[in-house]
Amino acid sequence: MEPRDSRRWWALALIAAAQFMVIMDTSIIGVALPRIQAELGFSQENLSWVFNAYVIAFGGLLLLGGRLSDLLGAKRVFASGWVVLLAGSVVAGAAGTVWVELIGRAVQGVGAALIAPSALTLLMMLFGGTPKELTKALALYGAAAPAGGTAGVFLGGVITEYISWPWVFYINVPIALVVLAAVPALMPGGARQRGSTDLLGALTVTAGLAAAVFAIVRAPEVGWGSTSTAIGLVIALALLAAFVALQARRHNPLVRLGIFRTPDLAAANLAQLLLGAAWIPMWFFLNLYLQQVLGLGAFASGSALLPMTTVIMLIMIVVAPRLAARFGTKAMVVAGLAVLAIGLGWLSFVRPAGTFWIDVLPASLVTAAGMALAFIPSLGTAISSARPEEGGLAAGIVNTSYQVGSALGLAAMTAVASALGAGQTADTALLTDGLSSAFVGAAVIAVAGALLAGVTLRGRRAQHRETVGATAA
């Protein structure tokens, strides 16, 4: 392997580490929340905002992060995101009050919103010219997400139990310093582009997405039919409508609306949204089943998720690229979502007196296979469909789709599970019924995703005709 090729793969390791960290920061705090609540004085109602502050800042600013990546250069934005993430981690770890903790988590989310789209843009810059290597690079990148989610649960338990809760945030500091030291040598520079940042558009879409996520994550607590939920959703819709109107009128918009006319881009983003809406609730409620029903501790439940992570990584890296080359994107996304639905349906049969080996392991491996088959083809299509100069924007859009889908799916399934007994922790039978209903609901979302992908994604023949036409021209 030549030195230049070697540097590309080291750069990919750095990009995968970014994806790993962004996802890990959403899951590592779960086990530490009771300690954080006891030491900082969070109420039971406000404790969830240690998670939500990160998710709202992350999801709301992803489009701006993608646009800045195109205008200022992905390398600069990537490095800046790590600086912001480092600062937020220090603030969150050193917090002595509720508000300082929430500010630190929100700053972490801002850093993640800069890192995620710029990382995907850098990946496309490094591997976009060689389709075979791009498939492998996207597989490695995609495998870092479930690895980060599982590692977060596992490390959160170990750190909280054997060190102290602030280190679930401080762990980011040495990693960020290593990344910042390696970025100048490994990452391609990229040129700045002419254009404005459309701050009014950025403010409008960020506020709209934040209002939507805020209303959705609070809905299970205050009620879906409550006045506050209705007002929040109306405000969100009004802001997003204003954003679309602004983008249609501006010469240099934050999001060129014509990008959605690109073949397969909108369809692939829809698949990513529904994939997140089905997968994240499964991961969340499976953790609850392991701990609250089967009685596993933090360390044991993190270990119980390792087989899923292993299967996802193996399929994404070894199996999925070969199948995608043979059958095409559409077949892979449809099949993956269908397999995910089967696994979720199987998980819905969990029992109050069940065991990990019978009730969890077989079904969880099926869900892992479905996720692995669908994720990379839909992600790669969503990014590669866009023009090269809009790679950062496309990356921001697809990340936003997945995060918004995750928030929608988790909020909806939390409402379903709570209504059917998931809040009755003292009654194992009712608790299991509630968790089972969440798995059923997630399976319905996956089925809807498979059907919509089958209708909206183009098949191999359409892609072949377009390629032949472009070559002839």
Q: Using CA atoms, how far apart are residues 317 and 133, in angstroms rounded to an integer?
A: 11
Domain boundary among 158, 183, 208: 183
Q: Is residue 153 part of a domain?
A: yes
Residue 464 has pLDDT above 80, yes or no: no
Q: Is residue 188 part of a domain?
A: no
Classified as helix, coil or strand, 425 is coil
Q: Using CA atoms, how far apart are residues 464 and 451, in angstroms rounded to an integer?
A: 23
Pick the closest to residue 105 from 40, 150, 162 (CA basis).
40
Q: Residue 234, CB half-sphere, CA atoms under 13 Å: how many?
A: 7
Predicted confidence (pLDDT) per residue in 52-89, tens digit: 788 778 877 888 888 888 888 889 999 999 999 999 99
Least confident of 1-15, 180-194, 258-272, 452-466: 452-466
Q: Using CA atoms, how far apart are residues 295 and 301, in angstroms rounded to an integer?
A: 9
Neighbours of 149 (CB within 10 A): 24
Q: Is residue 42 part of a domain?
A: yes
Contact between residue 211 and residue 38 where contact means Cβ atoms under 8 Å apart: no
Q: What is the DSSP letter of 290?
A: I
Name every residue whose Cβ is closer than 8 Å to that of residue 82 and which is 6 or more positions away in sequence: 18, 111, 115, 176, 179, 180, 183
Same structural domain for residues 161 and 231? Answer: no
Predicted confidence (pLDDT) per residue in 342-382, tens digit: 999 999 999 999 999 999 999 999 999 999 999 888 988 88
Number of domains in the chain: 3
Residue 463 has pLDDT above 60, yes or no: no
Residue 339 has pLDDT above 90, yes or no: yes
Written as six digits, the tokens of 88 are 């937020």
Same structural domain for residues 145 and 271? Answer: no
Contact between residue 208 and residue 240 where contact means Cβ atoms under 8 Å apart: yes
Same structural domain for residues 132 and 214? Answer: no
Predicted confidence (pLDDT) per residue in 398-438, tens digit: 878 887 788 778 778 887 887 888 777 778 898 899 999 99
Same structural domain for residues 403 and 277? Answer: yes
Same structural domain for residues 415 and 287? Answer: yes
Range of the domain at 44: 1-183
Q: Is residue 192 part of a domain?
A: no
* pLDDT the model gives residue 438: 92
Q: How far is CA 211 from the centre of its chain?
A: 19
Q: Is residue 134 part of a domain?
A: yes
Pick the closest to residue 123 from 190, 60, 182 (CA basis).
190
Binned at pLDDT 50, 70 and 90, residue 460 comes out as low
Same structural domain for residues 138 and 212? Answer: no
Domain boundary among 208, 230, 253: 253
With tokens 């080359």, the residue in question is 325
**Arithmetic mean of pLDDT, 82-103:** 94
Same structural domain for residues 320 and 456? Answer: yes
Same structural domain for residues 167 and 214? Answer: no
Predicted confidence (pLDDT) per residue in 121-161, tens digit: 898 888 877 777 887 888 888 778 777 877 787 788 788 77
Q: Which CATH number goes with the domain that contains 290?
A: 1.20.1250.20
Same structural domain for residues 8 and 95? Answer: yes
Least confident of 267-276, 337-346, 376-385: 376-385
Same structural domain for residues 99 and 242? Answer: no
Q: What single string gives the DSSP state of each residue in 313-338? A: HHIIIIIHHHHHHHH-HHHHHHHHHH
Vertex 444, ends 441 and 445: CA angle to 5°? 90
Binned at pLDDT 50, 70 and 90, residue 196 comes out as low
Higher-scoring residue by pLDDT: 378, 321: 378
Contact between residue 390 and residue 256 where contact means Cβ atoms under 8 Å apart: yes
Higher-scoring residue by pLDDT: 348, 472: 348
* pLDDT the model gives residue 462: 47
**Arithmetic mean of pLDDT, 153-177:** 86
* pLDDT the model gives residue 192: 60
* pLDDT the model gives residue 421: 82
| Count of residues making up the chain | 473
Domain boundary among 216, 237, 253: 253
Name every residue whose Cβ is closer than 8 Å to that of residue 132 and which is 6 or more positions away in sequence: none
Residue 105 has pLDDT above 60, yes or no: yes
Residue 469 has pLDDT above 60, yes or no: no
Q: Is residue 189 part of a domain?
A: no
Contact between residue 373 and residue 99 where contact means Cβ atoms under 8 Å apart: no
What's the burial of 426, exposed, middle or buried (CB within 10 Å: 0-12/13-18/19+)? Answer: exposed
- The amino acid at residue 353 is A
Q: Using CA atoms, how far apart are residues 5 and 11, in angstroms rounded to an integer?
A: 10
Cα separation values, 40 from 44, 89, 354, 418, Å:
12, 16, 36, 27
* pLDDT the model gives residue 45: 55
* pLDDT the model gives residue 93: 94
Phi and psi, residue 305, nearest 5°: -90, -10
Written as six digits, the tokens of 240 are 């997003």
Q: Using CA atoms, how far apart are residues 31 and 297, in angstroms rounded to an integer?
A: 10
Q: Is residue 190 part of a domain?
A: no
Determine if the pTM surpasses 0.75.
yes
What's the burial of 185, exposed, middle or buried (CB within 10 Å: 0-12/13-18/19+)? Answer: exposed
- Which of the given ranges, 11-25, 101-115, 280-294, has the highest pLDDT on average? 101-115
Q: Is residue 360 part of a domain?
A: yes
Same structural domain for residues 178 and 214? Answer: no
- What's the CA dihedral at 116, 63, 121, 368 to 10 degrees? 50
Same structural domain for residues 22 and 61? Answer: yes
Written as six digits, the tokens of 277 are 């809406």
Residue 254 has pLDDT above 90, yes or no: no
